[in-house]
Amino acid sequence: MNNPWESINLFDYENHMKLDSVMQLQVLNQMMKNQLDTYSVDNVMILGIAGGNGLEHINREKYSIVYGVDINSQYLREVEKRYKNLDGTLKCLCVDLLTEVSKLPTADFVIANLLIEYIGYDCFKAVVSHVKPKYVSCGIQINSGSEFVSDSPYLHVFDGLNSVHHQMDSDNLTRVMGDVGYKSISTIEYLLPNGKKLVQIDFIDLE
């Protein structure tokens, strides 16, 4: 069975995410800037890159390699089209993290925003163990009892995600990352409409 993310139109996804009643595209952009600016690394792997929201914050004097990973090849083609200024720095990788972790290169820094929800903790542990980053920054959505997809005219575009969605919890993520040798070093909360919030939790490899 195909992953539902392979059939979600990028136009529908982005237009849903930037609605005033959702505001996630805007907040994720702010989060990405903070993530990219924080650590002294020269390479980064962005998991679930979608349309490349936040890539305008890449400083090419700092980053020599940016890996953009997604399961949807159409998303990656659009990223390459939108960010031609990153030619030579941006390397897009079409990878199904559930079955193709071995295709990932190593990287010093991993960013995973709204990604763990759709692959689960065990898969994410396998990804981190394989990529072996020094730092990991995760953005997860806390729903406070509401549906994980906010109501919008695009709502039914996301119907198939119920089959792959995992409810997130900050404490569980911290525990899971501890299982593979990572310690939480910072937490930032970003409030969203409808009582939801995005929580950014950053980790460092203790080895």
C-alpha to C-alpha distance for 37 and 62, rounded to whole angstroms: 9
pLDDT for the residue 196:
83
Q: Choose among 10, 18, 8, 4: nearest CA to 152.
A: 18
Q: Walk me through the domains of the chain, giving residue ranges and CATH numbers.
A: 4-205 (3.40.50.150)
pLDDT for residue 73: 96
From first to last of its 207 residues, the chain has per-residue pLDDT tens of 588 888 888 988 888 888 877 788 899 999 999 999 999 999 999 999 999 999 999 999 999 999 999 999 999 999 999 999 999 999 999 999 999 999 999 999 999 999 999 999 999 999 999 999 999 999 998 876 555 566 566 566 777 777 787 888 999 999 999 999 999 999 999 988 877 889 999 999 998
For residue 152, the number of C-alpha atoms closer than 13 Å in the C-beta half-sphere is 23
Residue-level pLDDT at 193: 80
Question: Any alpha helices (H) in the chain, and if so which ranges?
Answer: 10-17, 24-38, 73-82, 121-131, 170-179
- Which of 149, 184, 162 has the alpha carbon at shortest distance from 16? 149
Q: Where is 138: in which H helix or E strand?
A: strand 135-142
Rounded (to 5) percent helix, strand, coil in the chain: 40, 25, 40
Residue 49, amino acid = I
Q: List strands edge to edge, sheet with 90-94.
A: 90-94, 65-70, 43-47, 109-113, 135-142, 197-205, 182-191
Q: What per-residue confidence (pLDDT) applies to 103?
A: 97
